[in-house]
Each structure stands twice: as structure tokens, then as C-alpha cells.
């Protein structure tokens, strides 16, 4: 039985949203927080969890020998796959589903990324433990700062989503817990950056 969260993500991030996001990526490039994440990471094979239309994948495509993308949204998976093919990158695998449910069958990669994904998943420890285990060299995440305005923003967003009939919910997970989980997985903090809304943290294996 698929996780309810992933079913609602699949409905929310539908083909219309995916086309709009790709068009925005073509017009404006990656968001500031995504650019910070890309800049802070080493290169190598990439496991991009919840990668959306694939902004990080495009940055890695010139040098990566292998890219794996796992996303709860079928529409994002389809758009990201087509876009990488358009760019001439053929060594990619795109999997639709819940990474926590699929992780046992996914190999480790040099770099693992979760760009604005931790905030979309209720089971923080399950997602961090499963994803850090796949990071041979680096693990990077973009997630909301723990501030009053992000809490208010997520509550308003969740209310709007419920009123629109969506079960999809956002979460502000504790920064200290993310740090503790990554360190417990044997990773050490390499860099921190932020925008007014997002933390951009990268970790590496010592």
C-alpha cells in the first residue's frame, strides 16, 4: 500500500505543475537555494531524491557517470527524464515512488540530494537514515529554517491545501534532529548557507 503522503504528492505535483516548473527553470534557472546546494557539493554520481523537474540533475549531467532520480510525483519523473534525454544524458534512472519504501533496491551514489523534500515528508528519521546510507561522499539538503515565519507559512499553506481537498502537508522539522541524524550516519557538516526561508546544509564522509 503506497504511503498516503506520496499519493497526495503525486496528485499535487501533476503534469500541469511539472510543465510550469520546467518552464520556470528554463526562464530563470535554479532557485537561489538550489544554486547554493549545487555549488557546495562535489561532483560524481548523483542520487536526487524528490528532484522535481531536475535542476540539480542538469547541473550534474556534464560530469556525472550516473544519475538516479526518485520522486513521488509521476509527472516530475517523466519531465525530468525527458529533459535529461534532451540534454543528451543517457545514464539516468528515474523511479516513481516513496524513496523510503524503495531505498533497499537503490545503490549508493557519490552525492545524495534532497532539495525541499524533508519538509514534505512526515517521517524525518526514516527519510534521513535511508538517504544518508546511500551517500558515499556527500549528502545535501535544503529545508525550511525553524523560525516563526516559516511555521506560520507552513500552517497557512497546509490550511489552503486542506481547503482545496489535498492531503499533502508541509513540515518544519527540527534542525537539531536533522544534524543529529546525519552525524549518527557518520557524516560531518561541511557547509551551511541560507536564504530568508531555506537552510542549505551539506555533509561529507570524513
Ligand X SMILES: C[S@@+](CC[C@H](N)C(=O)[O-])C[C@H]1O[C@@H](n2cnc3c(N)ncnc32)[C@H](O)[C@@H]1O
Say what the alpha-carbon torsion angle 129, 130, 135, 141 is, to the nearest 10 degrees. -70
Residues 18, 79 contacting (CB under 8 angstroms): yes
Applying CB under 6 A, which part among 35-43, 112-120, 147-155, 182-190 lies near ligand X? 112-120
Say what the alpha-carbon torsion angle 146, 10, 165, 144 is, to the nearest 10 degrees. 10
State the minimum distance, in angstroms, from the CB of residue 51 to ligand X: 5
State the minimum distance, in angstroms, from the CB of residue 45 to ligand X: 18
What residues contact residue 137 under an 8 Å CB cut-off, 6+ apart? Answer: 42, 44, 110, 111, 204, 205
Is 56 or 188 the residue whose CB approaches ligand X more closely?
A: 56
Q: Is 74 helix (H, G, I), strand (E, B) or coil?
A: helix
State the minimum distance, in angstroms, from the CB of residue 206 to ligand X: 27
Decide if residue 173 touches ligand X (CB under 6 A).
no
Decide if residue 98 touches ligand X (CB under 6 A).
yes
The one-character DSSP state at 149 is H
Q: Looking only at residues 33 through 72 of this chain, which bind ligand X when binding is defined by CB under 6 A?
A: 34, 49-52, 70-72
State the minimum distance, in angstroms, from the CB of residue 31 to ligand X: 7
For ligand X, the binding residues (CB under 6 A) are 6, 9, 13, 34, 49-52, 70-73, 76, 98-100, 115-117, 120-121
Amino acid at each position: 500500500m503506497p504511503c498516503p503522503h506520496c499519493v497526495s504528492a503525486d496528485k499535487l505535483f501533476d503534469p500541469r505543475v511539472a510543465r510550469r516548473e520546467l518552464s520556470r527553470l528554463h526562464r530563470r534557472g535554479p532557485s537561489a537555494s538550489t544554486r547554493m546546494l549545487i555549488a557546495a557539493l562535489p561532483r560524481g554520481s548523483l542520487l536526487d531524491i524528490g528532484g522535481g523537474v531536475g535542476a540539480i540533475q542538469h547541473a550534474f549531467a556534464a560530469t556525472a557517470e550516473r544519475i538516479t532520480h526518485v520522486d513521488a510525483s509521476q509527472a516530475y519523473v517523466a519531465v525530468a527524464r525527458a529533459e535529461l534525454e534532451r540534454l543528451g544524458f543517457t545514464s539516468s534512472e528515474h523511479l516513481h515512488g516513496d524513496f523510503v519504501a524503495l531505498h533497499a533496491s537503490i545503490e549508493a551514489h557519490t552525492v545524495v540530494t534532497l532539495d525541499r523534500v524533508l519538509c514534505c515528508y512526515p517521517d524525518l528519521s526514516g527519510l534521513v537514515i535511508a538517504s544518508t546510507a546511500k551517500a558515499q561522499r556527500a549528502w545535501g539538503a535544503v529545508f525550511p529554517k525553524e523560525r516563526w515565519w516559516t511555521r506560520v507559512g507552513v500552517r497557512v499553506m497546509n490550511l489552503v491545501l486542506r481547503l482545496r481537498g489535498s492531503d499533502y502537508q508541509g513540515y518544519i522539522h527540527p534542525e537539531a534532529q536533522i544534524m543529529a541524524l546525519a552525524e549518527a550516519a557518520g557524516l560531518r557538516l561541511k557547509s551551511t548557507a541560507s536564504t530568508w526561508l531555506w537552510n542549505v546544509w551539506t555533509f561529507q564522509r570524513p
